[in-house]
A and B are shown apart, each in its own frame.
Chain A
Amino acid sequence: DTGVSQDPRHKITKRGQNVTFRCDPISEHNRLYWYRQTLGQGPEFLTYFQNEAQLEKSRLLSDRFSAERPKGSFSTLEIQRTEQGDSAMYLCASSSKESGTQFAPMGYTFGSGTRLTVV
């Protein structure tokens, strides 16, 4: 397994267009997360999947954003009617519950991200 893969690495789009990003997590990880990172800031949580179920969405995720993980493997994040404020790095991460305990998070494995520029 080569880690978490994200595609594309870069995306430039015109304001008002729709974009879709893909994330392929580590195969044995059942938990998948989307974060957004703007320049000079730490990653901000967007949404979380356990298997195919989307269990939490941040209020940062407006109605224009939708994420899916249909088969509990790869995930897509779609932004409709993009705005310049959507320009950011979109990060995907995956993790698994540490064997034997739910009380010791292992930490995430991040992908390299998709850099979105809305012009």
Chain B
Amino acid sequence: GNSVTQMEGPVTLSEEAFLTINCTYTATGYPSLFWYVQYPGEGLQLLLKATKADDKGSNKGFEATYRKETTSFHLEKGSVQVSDSAVYFCARANSGGYQKVTFGTGTKLQVIP
């Protein structure tokens, strides 16, 4: 089936540290890939997306590259801020059809000053 696996948290970093959150997906079909973010007390927000191999999604300093050869979509940020503290969800959706999205279990990021 379609699934997404992401690294377990929590991840604790100091401000301005480099962030990587690993995500791998099952290679069924030609999925689109997403990262969603959930800030404390808020709903999920789409952070970035990539729709085909080698695409790079980027937003708010975050980046993720669609790697078909490794079936990965790792999230990176060069310098995290305290305001980036949130739970990050990797997700996939099959192209075509009705775009049902399958989510990973989430990785909690805590950035300390």
Query: A residues near B, CB below 8 A?
Result: 31, 33, 40-45, 48, 50, 55-56, 91, 95, 97, 102-113
Contacts and interface: CB of A to CB of B under 8 A. Distances in A.
B44 interface: yes
Interface size of B as a range: 20 to 34
14 contacts: A31-B99, A41-B105, A42-B103, A44-B103, A45-B101, A45-B102, A50-B98, A56-B98, A105-B51, A107-B34, A108-B44, A108-B101, A110-B44, A112-B42
Contacts of A45: 100-102
A45 B97 CA distance: 15
Q: Is the interface of A mostly helix, strand, loop or mixed?
A: loop
Given A104-B95, A107-B34, 16 more contacts: A33-B100, A33-B101, A40-B105, A41-B105, A41-B106, A42-B103, A42-B104, A42-B106, A43-B89, A43-B103, A45-B101, A56-B100, A102-B95, A105-B49, A108-B46, A110-B45
